[in-house]
Amino acid sequence: MKNISGAEAVIRSLISEGVDVLFGYPGGAIMPVYDELYKFEKEINHILVRHEQGATHAAQGYARSSGKVGVAIATSGPGATNLVTGIADAQIDSTPMVCITGQVATYLLGSDAFQETDIIGISTPVTKWNYQITKASEIAEIFAKAFFIAKSGRPGPVLIDITKDAQFEMVDNFKYKKCNKVRSYISIPETDSKSISDAAALINKSKKPFIVWGQGVILGNAEKEFTEFIDKSGIPSAWTILGLSAIPTDHPLNVGMLGMHGNYGPNKLTNECDLLIAIGMRFDDRVTGDLKTYARQAKIIHFEIDPAEINKNVKVDVPVLGDVKKTLKKILPKIIKKNHSSWIEKFRELNKIEFKKVIDTEYNKTSGGLSMAEVIKSINQNTNGESILVTDVGQHQMVACRYTKFNKSKSNITSGGLGTMGFALPAALGAKIGDQKREVIAVIGDGGFQMTIQELGTIFQTKAAVKIIILNNNFLGMVRQWQQLFFEKRYASTEMINPDFVAIAKGYFIESSKVSIRENLNKEIIKMLNHDGPYLLEVIIEKEENVFPMIPTGSSVADIRLE
């Protein structure tokens, strides 16, 4: 290819990686790239967000719904630093993302020039890899390496910082070659065949085995192998919130949600199983509770792609390293087909207690203010488990994850490890662009919604048909619940005086409505779902509703409370 500028080399590198969507916000230090992007608008669709944080969350939503690498772009200084929250979120939730930032010219580095920030130093703890390009000749190689690292092995975010002079500099004979190997970087560890045999032996002799699975099943595209594994082994299986939707909600061996607000049965019986099989999950503290009491009676098998996760939080007896799609395929012929019906019945009995004390009163409420669970019930009735649900962080997130029915994988998109309020609105936009054939419903609390409310402008401009439900209780609900239970009802800075959300949506030319009466809820949700285009529905819910079950912080999973 003829000599081209570094800025054009950036665009051609992206096209070579199959990138057709960028989420970003222009500025001085990245302007040469934007100038070239203007010339390639037929090849790459640039989504102009209203805040750089929105670009990263939209890229995350896009990656999670499409299975591709999400890409965000911003200028130097505040543009770059505004990406950091989304980058940290992607790092802890293993989301493949490449972020591109402009930087001041090379000769100005370290001089505190206008809008200069050391984004390499800032982002190092929250990226899988980062690199600063100061020569145009580096662009092709670094971009190829970045995309490989972002999507290989355990996925994660990568940041490329490009000085302005490198964007203007010419590249001689530009050539792009995709990367499939990086020296000293082992993306997928080798699987020890003995670990497969040892794991199979433990599974075959176990009387009360229990599977806990996470997002690794989805990231590894191992849903088919995982289903075959649980069907043959007959083992009851529970999920983390990021693992949700890997198998259908109504699968007979799906016994529910783990964690602080998970289901009664799987949490209680974690400390009664004789074998715990962890698949593609990292033993997060929200799942384990007090580590001193977590599954102490059980042998533990851990299927994991990242060696750093083995024995990090929980000591395991048999680590099975490798690509979970391949390791599950290898172990399947070695396990005996079983039916653990009496053991599974224990889960059902405990979950019946939860249904009577918690679920029935929330999900089938007939008087008083609307509950969050009633909203999810209506969504279930009208989407048949086919939609993508995007949630923010808080009470509504826990309720939505607990009650939403799913039939397809890649259907639950939420901020898990970082717990980022403001995630849902831009992530829903990205999810819709990533999978335009499916309905995308964002369920958001009134607090989190206002953290990225400006992205309504992006939704309006793109005309992305995102359906937005605000569950409004005029409180920072999860914090208020903790204040009620553990701080003697001292509601310090959690009550909110909210604006007119319907009027704001209409100001962005987005159709909207509000509901507070139970009899009108279902018809308003149907109206929202039937609308051709984006729609915002504000639902006024019970002001001081709590989410149960609940494991108090630092307590054992067996100490789960129903009230």
Enumerate the active-site residues.
52, 114-115, 164, 478
DSSP single-letter state for residue 470 = E
How many whole angstroms separate alpha carbon 397 and alpha carbon 546?
Answer: 12
How many whole angstroms separate alpha carbon 510 and alpha carbon 456?
Answer: 8
**Cα within 13 Å of Cα(518), Cβ side:** 15
Backbone angles phi, psi at 527, to 5 degrees: -60, -45
Given 3-state DSSP classes, what are the helix, strand and coil percentages for the chain, each rounded to the nearest 5? 45, 20, 40
- How far is CA 460 from each of CA 349, 389, 444, 525, 535, rounded to the nearest angstrom? 48, 20, 18, 20, 10
For 304-359, give the DSSP string.
ES-GGGTTTSS--SEEEES-HHHHHHHHGGGSPP---HHHHHHHHHHHHHHIIIII
- How far is CA 182 from each of CA 44, 299, 309, rounded to the nearest angstrom? 27, 36, 21
Question: Quick check: bond before 209 cis, omega within 30?
Answer: no
Residue 220: name the closest of 87, 60, 88, 410 by CA.
410
Per residue in 220-258, is it b (16+ CB within 10 Å) or e — as a string? bebbebbbebbebbbbbbbbbbbbbbbbbbeeebbbbbb
How many whole angstroms separate alpha carbon 344 and alpha carbon 429?
Answer: 39
- The single residue listed with the structure tokens 């290898």 is 330
Are the C-beta atoms of residues 265 and 351 closer than 8 Å to each other?
yes
How large is the C-alpha radius of gyration of the chain?
Answer: 24
Helix, strand or coil, per DSSP, at residue 149: helix
